[in-house]
Amino acid sequence: MERAKELASINRKIVKIDQAFAPAIKTLAPCTFGLEKPTVTHYQSLIRSVIAQQVSTAAARTISGRLQEKCGGSITAAKVGALSLKELQSVGLTGAKVRTISELTEASLSGEINFRKFTHMSDEEIIKDLVPLFGIGRWTAEMFLIFHLGRLDVWPIDDLAVRRGWDNLHGNSEPIKPKALQLLGEPFAGMRSVVAWYCWRAS
């Protein structure tokens, strides 16, 4: 219940800082970040994100299902690491995604990335761990922080839907640029993921 109270309090603060959010917070689905425990591991969540890049939700689901089958029912670093590149490609992954998944798996197995430590790491430390991997950009890392870890102060200014939602809420005639949005997010420090949620919903 603590997180639910925190989110309700954040909603009130957002409206105090910027009245433009009042209608969205009143009428759109409330933010749920961190209310439920994730049903997948950190590793599985990232694998799913990689699979979902630039394909439809249905295609991503099919590919994930095939990979899960290849892994005998559960996608783990040890099981994915035991598959050949050919086997990985056979589930419908592109060469680039095979490389990303292989690098992520290797980093996980070698301990180069220690998912157990993520709970105690800052957002930026986690991003620094993930971004050097081929095919995992800042945006993928930010989505992982927000949707999987339930972090409340991530500000994904490179996300087109976040920018579009901001424009819609503020009645902007010119599309906002990421740099400008970075500055406009500063008054919301500590709760920027929640602001992003309402921008997504308003896009």
In sequence order, the 6+-apart residues with CB closer than 8 A to the CB of 151 are 33, 34, 123, 145, 193
Phi (first) and psi of residue 173, to 5 degrees: -90, -25
Distance, CA of 62 to CA of 148 (rounded, Å): 21
Distance, CA of 203 to CA of 200 (rounded, Å): 5
Verify whether residue 18 is a known catalytic residue.
no
Residue 77, number of CB atoms within 10 A of its CB: 21
Query: Of residues 129, 153, 158, 159, which has the active-site annotation?
Result: 159
- Residues recognised as catalytic: 159
